[in-house]
Amino acid sequence: MSRHQYAMVMDLNKCLGCQTCTVACKKLWTDRDGTEYMYWNNVETRPGLGYPREWDRSGGGWKDGELQPGRLPTLDDYGAPWEFDYEQRLYEGSGKPVMPSPDPQSGCNWDEDVGALNGNDNFYFYLPRICNHCTYPACLAACPRQAIYKREEDGIVLIDQERCQGYRYCIAACPYKKIYFNEITGKSEKCIFCYPRLENGEVNACAAQCPGRLRFVGILDDPDSPVHKLVLVYRVALPLFPEKGTQPNVFYVPPFNPPRRGNYGKSILEDPRLPLGYLIYLFGPEVKDVIRRLEAELVRAQNGERSEVLQLLIGRDNATRYRIPAREQLVQIRT
């Protein structure tokens, strides 16, 4: 357990799927040899197989206090990095589409690339994912080298690159598959929650660049932080797959769920737009109460009353969305 815990809340109602966060993270942290296939931040289209493919069904995590066996994804599950033949397009004038090589079979948002319309039953939303900097990290417990540690002052989970021997038990143990193996260095790597930026008073790169302004960052146990308010006071944000037992510190405001439209948008049906069962699959049964709370706030706002929750979720400016204490201020936070 750490003394304090950094956390992030992402409002899924505002994600555009633009991948700006993915690119910001990639340029900053995984633009090196051996990291080509890695996306410490990825945004996947749901429902879908995700990145790596079927990560949510690949085991790991905790059950009854025991680490659960997990599967190591293959490079095909992530999607092998590919190049485009720009020469053909620029200089040959063939008019043919620019083809990637090798022929990709998967990728960091493959479901969007291969998605197909399915009449009235269509629904989708975007799910941005980073390491959850869990309170009980299965990755940490699985490492026989004690190379993974959780920072005492703020709960960020890191891998000591000197100690790591590349055994990859951490990758199998993480139920969110948010650790990656670098074939060049022979070490495992993961999201570092941009701790060098935080220590400099800057918010995480993915949050800073997000045009949807949907990421909120702060110390979970800081009563003045937006994440504390959204998760613990207003209770409108939930972790992904809570049953995996690691107690994640990334939380999601689930998508509002207005009625489905039929006849290609011309009529309003009785069922919700997103099957509730799918949201329960992702966020657990509590999602029903969260959606009810959000809908009550919407009604309040529609009636001309002020909704503190919705005002906060608008995320007007940096001061609303982020609260990054200086290191020496961390000790002053009331617990």
Of 127, 147, 157, 287, the residue at the interface with ligand SF4 (CB under 6 A) is 157
Question: Residue 239 pairs with which residues in a beta bridge?
Answer: 251
d(CA 168, CA 190): 12
**Cβ distance 275 to 123 under 8 Å?**
yes
Verify binding: residue 237, ligand SF4, rule CB under 6 A: no
Min dist CB 303 to ligand SF4, Å, is 29
Verify binding: residue 155, ligand SF4, rule CB under 6 A: no
Min dist CB 108 to ligand SF4, Å, is 11
Of 29, 78, 176, 180, the residue at the interface with ligand SF4 (CB under 6 A) is 176
Neighbours of 290 (CB within 10 A): 20
Verify binding: residue 203, ligand SF4, rule CB under 6 A: no
**Cβ distance 250 to 133 under 8 Å?**
yes
Interface with ligand SF4 (CB under 6 A), residue total 28
Region from 12-20, 62-70, 94-102, 318-326 binding ligand SF4, contact rule CB under 6 A: 12-20
**Cβ distance 173 to 60 under 8 Å?**
yes
Nearer Cβ to ligand SF4 (1/90): 1
Q: By C-alpha distance, which of 287, 270, 269 is closest to 278?
A: 287
Contacts with ligand SF4 in 28-57 (CB under 6 A)?
43
The token pair that represents 203 in the structure block:
């918010």
Q: Which amino acid is at 175?
A: P
Verify binding: residue 67, ligand SF4, rule CB under 6 A: no
Q: What is the largest CA-CA distance in the chain?
A: 66
Strands 179-182 and 83-84: unpaired
What track of x and - describes contact with ligand SF4 for positions 239 through 258 (by CB under 6 A)?
-------x------------
What track of x and - describes contact with ligand SF4 for positions 213 through 232 (by CB under 6 A)?
-x------------------
d(CA 290, CA 313): 14
Residues that bind ligand SF4 (CB under 6 A): 15-21, 43, 126, 128, 131-134, 137-139, 157, 174, 176, 178-179, 190, 210-212, 214, 246
